Structure 1
């Protein structure tokens, strides 16, 4: 008698129908039309999916470690490239603030403040860890994608961010409509409503820089709603950490400089297939003089 593997919540699985191309966490199991269906979140990609239980296979520790190691290597490569970009930006600011090193380093800098709304608490923590490594000031809020538009206004008033991230999980389903149809997406319409609510508070694109979207999100609707950067132009999956790289670049770019869209996308893990945006000013501000307070 053949034994059937039991699929449980929090188990790491792959979909047989997709050759286990993406690793998922089982978030919930429910019965739909007499069939058991699992709700899945991508382990490394901001993709939400559902699949029949009999289409799922558990991923053993050895395979998971192998796949995870490959992704972490790409993450580190991307991190190093972004850190180099940020270091170069700091050197340029140092040069300008000291008139070509003719004056003392008597200045200070105020990077942009980030408010990051995320539908996945696990991804949120990964993002917060990366923000810390990059030295970005951030407030992270876990919020269900369907509730973000109800909360974003009061959160903007409370935290007064320079940059707003609206992300979580998403997916396009061709059985629900064409790619131009916003209702064919799992959460895009909620992201769009959240962007619109944010723009009611801060209409100016340079006073509040907005990144919005997740895997396969309706890019055009997000941009037209008021996002500066969004996913996904070709409806591909985006990496969990891609929003962090984009807003970190913006946070450390001087507010007198405009960000080249290609320049900000080139070191992300997903690139221009999954991410895009419009010309945007940086938010870093330099001040002087810097006088440390010494207790007498």
Structure 2
């Protein structure tokens, strides 16, 4: 069966474990990006199986179920955080004290336009203010400074597609990664603008990214400690947890990990303060943190 750009495929050599979309074919080799995970790869056409509609529906069904479970867990956590905030604002008094929240604003730079659309929809569902921009990974270092100046975010997410290629070097060799170099350079350029770790909280990385390099570059949170694949929405849940944590409290790295799909094998980071600020009075009804 002929394979062309835009088709959904899987690799026989990896037991068809991940479904990719073909983005380019050149000299009998296809460039691939994960349809649900932030992995970039390439493979000869002879190694690819074209995925039919039935196979895709079953694959997608499993991911949608997982996404809804993660959303429900995060919603429960967010409501507990809101109850705590209400108690703190009223200083424990029984009478209701209305207040407002200034949630952390996110600048989300994504190398995949389709993933950016999915992420933006989830930010909106979670009630997180976001400015999303599609930028190719190689162009991110050149554009981040001007975007920071324009958006003035509290949180920066730098993500897209990546991969660790053992044939190019060991895990501590930056040349063995597709896009970790550009993610790290982007973080460094951002730190030239805002050096303080708690003034701008940065998440960087994608599937199999060089975790240690990204932290050294200045990221607060990054992927991927065990060089595994991360889900397309993992960066959103990390950013949302930071956005909804009051600035006088530390963001729990464990909580960040708990609300992602891949856990501590896929994401990690350092102690960081939250960015949410509370104020009062508020004369209108509070908007819900999350939709129902």
TM-score with structure 2 setting the length:
0.96
Tell me the equivalent position of 1:85. 77
> Which whole-Å CA distance do the structure 1 matches of 2:237 and 2:252 have between them?
14
Tell me the equivalent position of 2:248. 256
Query: Is residue 201 of structure 1 aligned with residue 193 of structure 2?
Result: yes
SS in 1 for 2:168: coil
Structure 1 portions without partners, runs of 5+:
none
Tell me the equivalent position of 2:204. 212
> Which whole-Å CA distance do the structure 1 matches of 2:65 and 2:100 have between them?
34
Tell me the equivalent position of 2:289. none
Residue number among 259, 262, 266 corresponding to 1:267 in the alignment: 259
Higher CA-based Rg: 1
Query: Is residue 130 of structure 1 aligned with residue 119 of structure 2?
Result: no
Tell me the equivalent position of 1:28. 24
Q: How far does residue 67 in structure 1 lie from its aligned partner after superposition? A: 1.0
How many correspondences in the alignment?
285
> Which whole-Å CA distance do the structure 2 matches of 1:85 and 1:262 have between them?
13
Q: How far does residue 103 in structure 1 lie from its aligned partner after superposition? A: 4.1
> Which whole-Å CA distance do the structure 2 matches of 1:40 and 1:101 have between them?
57
> Which whole-Å CA distance do the structure 1 matches of 2:189 and 2:24 have between them?
30
Query: Is residue 110 of structure 1 aligned with residue 106 of structure 2?
Result: no
Q: Deviations over 1:117-159 (max 9, x none)?
A: 0000000000011111100000000000000000000000000
Query: Is residue 149 of structure 1 aligned with residue 144 of structure 2?
Result: no
> Which whole-Å CA distance do the structure 2 matches of 1:107 and 1:170 have between them?
42
Tell me the equivalent position of 2:273. 281
Q: How far does residue 111 in structure 1 lie from its aligned partner after superposition? A: 0.3
SS in 2 for 1:197: helix
Tell me the equivalent position of 2:6. 10
> Which whole-Å CA distance do the structure 1 matches of 2:56 and 2:101 have between them?
42
Residue number among 146, 155, 163 corresponding to 2:155 in the alignment: 163
Q: How far does residue 109 in structure 1 lie from its aligned partner after superposition? A: 0.8
Tell me the equivalent position of 1:63. 55
Q: Deviations over 1:27-48 (max 9, x none)?
A: 01112xxxx1100000110000
Structure 2 portions without partners, runs of 5+:
285-292
> Which whole-Å CA distance do the structure 2 matches of 1:167 and 1:265 have between them?
17
> Which whole-Å CA distance do the structure 2 matches of 1:128 and 1:104 have between them?
33
CA RMSD in angstroms, aligned pairs only? 1.1
Q: How far does residue 95 in structure 1 lie from its aligned partner after superposition? A: 1.0
> Which whole-Å CA distance do the structure 1 matches of 2:67 and 2:256 have between them?
16
Residue number among 27, 36, 42 corresponding to 2:34 in the alignment: 42
> Which whole-Å CA distance do the structure 1 matches of 2:206 and 2:50 have between them?
25
SS in 1 for 2:148: helix
Q: How far does residue 267 in structure 1 lie from its aligned partner after superposition? A: 2.1
Tell me the equivalent position of 2:68. 76
Residue number among 132, 139, 143 corresponding to 2:131 in the alignment: 139
Q: How far does residue 102 in structure 1 lie from its aligned partner after superposition? A: 3.5
> Which whole-Å CA distance do the structure 2 matches of 1:241 and 1:270 have between them?
10
Q: How far does residue 260 in structure 1 lie from its aligned partner after superposition? A: 1.7
